[in-house]
């Protein structure tokens, strides 16, 4: 699920470094480790390593501290919610054919944002409370495809469909790849999964709710 926005360029932007460093960064082992990250700690380690090789250690440390603080706010605010009250979240990357996302990075962010990745419990026959579509397809195309899929009888009694908890991520810079936007990714998921606890305003530029009724 690569974005049109290079994760390397986003790191350079976050560190306030010149684009001329891009070819160097993209071919380093440190960058490859970053884009393979699965947890926030992995991302922080990767950003610090990149800061060292680009002689921007202090900038990297400042960035990591800011990202960690934002994510910790989410974690602390949700820490008393019992597992039984956390919604089951299904991430999709395509409608036709229906394709679920299996990515450890996003699964971990769903947990941080107070949800339960559905594929972890699918064996028990559980159904999603929330469906989030993270697709490369143009929004107009998705808006045509979504009603046809979810109006089928098999979906009729799925909680996410019954309560119109279907969300489309329409900005191709977010929730695509580990990197400097990890806190944004966590905040986007948190306000979708727990809107009573979080309002970051990213529904204005990143996501939309699809109402089937």
**Confidence grade of residue 153 (pLDDT, cut at 50, 70, 90):** confident
112 against 125, higher pLDDT: 112
What are the CA-CA distances from residue 57 to residues 47, 64, 149, 208 (Å)? Answer: 9, 10, 49, 37
pTM flag (> 0.85): yes
pLDDT (tens digit, 9 = 90+) per residue, 17-56?
999 999 989 999 999 999 999 999 999 999 999 999 999 9
Q: Which pLDDT belongs to residue 4?
A: 41
Q: Which residues contact 1 (CB under 8 A, 6 or more apart)?
A: 93, 101, 103, 134, 136, 176, 177
Q: Which pLDDT belongs to residue 3?
A: 45
């Amino acid at each position: 699920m690569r974005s049109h926005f290079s994760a390397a360029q986003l790191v350079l932007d976050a560190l306030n470094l010149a684009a001329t460093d891009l070819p160097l960064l993209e071919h380093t082992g440190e960058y490859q480790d970053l884009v393979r990250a699965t947890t926030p700690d992995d991302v922080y380690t990767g950003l610090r390593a990149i800061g060292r090789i680009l002689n921007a250690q202090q900038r990297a440390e400042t960035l990591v501290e800011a990202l960690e603080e934002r994510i910790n706010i989410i974690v602390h605010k949700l820490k008393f919610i019992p597992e039984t009250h956390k919604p089951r979240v299904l991430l999709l990357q395509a409608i036709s054919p229906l394709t679920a996302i299996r990515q450890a990075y996003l699964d971990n962010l769903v947990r941080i944002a107070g949800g339960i990745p559905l594929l972890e419990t699918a064996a028990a026959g559980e159904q999603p409370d929330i469906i989030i579509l993270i697709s490369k397809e143009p929004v107009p195309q998705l808006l045509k495809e979504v009603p046809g899929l979810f109006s089928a009888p098999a979906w009729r009694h799925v909680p996410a469909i019954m309560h119109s908890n279907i969300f489309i991520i329409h900005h191709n810079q977010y929730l695509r790849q580990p990197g400097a936007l990890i806190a944004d990714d966590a905040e986007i998921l948190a306000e979708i999964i727990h809107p009573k606890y979080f309002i970051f305003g990213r529904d204005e530029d990143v996501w939309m709710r699809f109402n089937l009724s």
